[in-house]
Amino acid sequence: MSNSYDLIVIGGGPGGYVAAIRAAQLGLKTAVVEREHLGGICLNWGCIPTKALLASADVFEKFKHANDYGLSSQSIGFDLEKIVARSRAISKQLAGGVAFLLKKNKVTVIDAEASLSKGIDAPLVIARSKDGTKQELTANNVIIATGARARTLPAAGLIPDGNLIWTYKEAMIPSSFPKRLLVIGSGAIGIEFASFYRSLGAEVTVVEAQDRIMPIEDAEISELAAKAFKKRGFDILTSASVKSLSKTTTEVTATIESGGKTSQIVADRVILAIGIVPNTEGLGLQELGVNTDRGHIVTDGMGTTNVKGLHAIGDVAGAPWLAHKASHEGVACVEKIKGMKVHGINPLKVPGCTYAHPQVASVGLTEARAKALGYETKIGRFPFHGNGKAIALGEPDGLIKTIFDAKTGELLGAHMIGAEVTEMVQGYVVAMGLETTEKELMETIFAHPTLSEMMHESVLAAYGRAIHI
């Protein structure tokens, strides 16, 4: 087999494997070098398995409220081992699917760890297999799609040990159920795990350094989320920092500083959800002179780096750190390599979703950001309790918020909390992509009865025309 390719992709996650498939579709001889799991963190230890866990938690939540639906259930319980086994089986199934798709598209998969050295058209790829064998691979272009891993803070003792102090990976495969859980960080990862374990009965404390949880979300949505989580029994500490962690064989004591005061929290397990670090070590970037910014590889927005023939996509290339951004970036990068006319990634049009209970989803500018940029805005709000489908589902709590440019009618942002908003947000993403105005959204017919009717009502509300509030 020849070791020469048109394109080599380092990393088989949602950015890498999608880029490889698109390259193969465009006729490029392509290889993927992956050291661990096809599908990457997202499919194996992130997006997919966590959603499987949360699906189990959601069903369990509904069981607890069966009487509200005119149903009866007795001896409600859960089997943690089976919940985890279901999650792992789903990941395994989908990882197999990725392998099939790569084979179908005639992409060569090399099970090895890659590094780079100087080449001619692009850096030379050195693939080292687990058995110690080494291959030198050449290509016209190389894409780095190595992703990222959980951030740690050794100075404060925030280092995962696989036993008492967890990252997302250990939190997905617990050997026993923690009755007391401390979650450090209230981004999507921290809140999703907090929601899962709380649904199953754990006492959950969330510590956030910012002055509100889910700090990247619109402030109004963040406030509603905090109220909803507190109603579920979360203990939430904001403007708080963990100064240290100390362990015994069975529990962890966290020293928390907030408002100039220090307190201690004792937990059975701690989940670290304090951000990510790009996987760039050992690639040889410094030797090649690759430009980086705080560890992330600098690109032109379509994957191109400052080194000839070298590209980077996904988490390793910076925020937003989302699988769908990585996939889209991978396609754009490959199409640019092929010489096609492509558009770059606009971060404001990348949706973000948190699959907790309740769900949170958003796209575009927050209200505060829009005002800071000087926009004169029109803002619409529609509550879930005004929607027939939401009431019928037993999900009357939530809000759809839309932000428009008062002068042009441009949709600047949409922010949502409540049942199934992670599905509904895509409607606004499409609208923003098509540069739809408020007039066109108002004239669109939404099916009844649906939750998506609230999206229409929120637009109407921004212009004083809401019907059902």
Q: pLDDT tens digits for 4-22?
A: 999 999 999 999 999 999 9
Average pLDDT taken over every residue of the chain:
95
The share of the chain scoring above pLDDT 70, in percent, equals: 100
Q: Note the pLDDT tens digit of each residue in 40-81.
A: 888 888 889 999 999 999 999 999 989 999 999 888 999 999
Mean pLDDT, residues 191-218: 97
More confident residue, 43 or 420: 420
**Among the CATH numbers 3.40.190.10, 3.30.390.30, 3.30.1200.10, 3.10.105.10, which is that of 358-462?**
3.30.390.30
If we measure between CA atoms, which residue out of 419, 402, 410 comes closest to residue 457?
402
Catalytic residue (one of 324, 448, 456, 468):
448
Q: CA-CA distance, 307 to 124, in Å (whole number)?
A: 12
Q: Is the model's pLDDT at 1 over the cut of 70?
A: no
Confidence at 153, pLDDT banded by 50, 70, 90: confident
> How many C-beta atoms surround the C-beta of residue 442 within 10 A?
14
Q: How confident is the model at residue 102 (pLDDT cuts 50, 70, 90)?
A: very high
Percentage of residues of the chain with pLDDT beyond 90 = 89
Q: Is the pLDDT of residue 154 over 90?
A: no
Distance CA 418, CA 384 (A): 7
Confidence of residue 421 (pLDDT cuts 50, 70, 90): very high
| Domain 4-149+277-347 identical in fold to domain 154-274 | yes
Q: What is the pTM of this model?
A: 0.94
State the pLDDT confidence band at 343, using cuts at 50, 70 and 90.
confident
Report the distance separating Cα 46 and Cα 36, nearest Å.
14
pLDDT at res. 165:
95
In this model, does residue 344 exceed pLDDT 90? Answer: no
Q: What is the pLDDT of residue 132?
A: 87
Task: Give residue 82's pLDDT.
Answer: 97
* Residue 155 pLDDT > 80: no
Label the pairing between strands 310-312 and 134-144: parallel
Average pLDDT over residues 427-450: 97
Note the Cα 104 to chain centre separation in Å.
28
CATH level 3 topology of 4-149+277-347: FAD/NAD(P)-binding domain (3.50.50)
pLDDT band at 291 (very low <50, low <70, confident <90, very high): very high
- pLDDT of 152 reads 86
Which has the higher per-residue pLDDT, 390 or 41?
390
The pLDDT score that the predictor gives to residue 156 is 77
Q: What is the reported pLDDT for 434?
A: 95
**What's the pLDDT at 437?**
96
What integer pLDDT is reported at residue 348 of this predicted model? 93
| Residues whose CB is less than 8 angstroms from the CB of residue 229 and which lie 6 or more positions away in sequence, other chains included | 191, 194, 195, 198, 206, 213, 236, 356
Q: Is the dihedral of CA 455, 458, 460, 465 positive or negative?
A: positive
* Three-point CA angle 158, 159, 164, nearest 5°: 95
448 catalytically annotated: yes
Reported as a single tens digit per residue, the pLDDT across 254-270 is: 999 988 899 999 999 99
Q: Write down the pLDDT at residue 144.
A: 98
Which CATH fold topology does 154-274 show? FAD/NAD(P)-binding domain (3.50.50)
Question: How is the chain split into domains, by residue range?
Answer: 4-149+277-347, 154-274, 358-462
Q: Which amino acid is at 415?
A: H
CA distance 410 to 433: 11
Cβ burial 393-427 (10 Å sphere, 16+ → b, else e): eebebbbbbbbbbeeebbbbbbbbbbbbbbebbeb
> Among residues 117, 146, 73, which one has the least CA distance to residue 307?
117
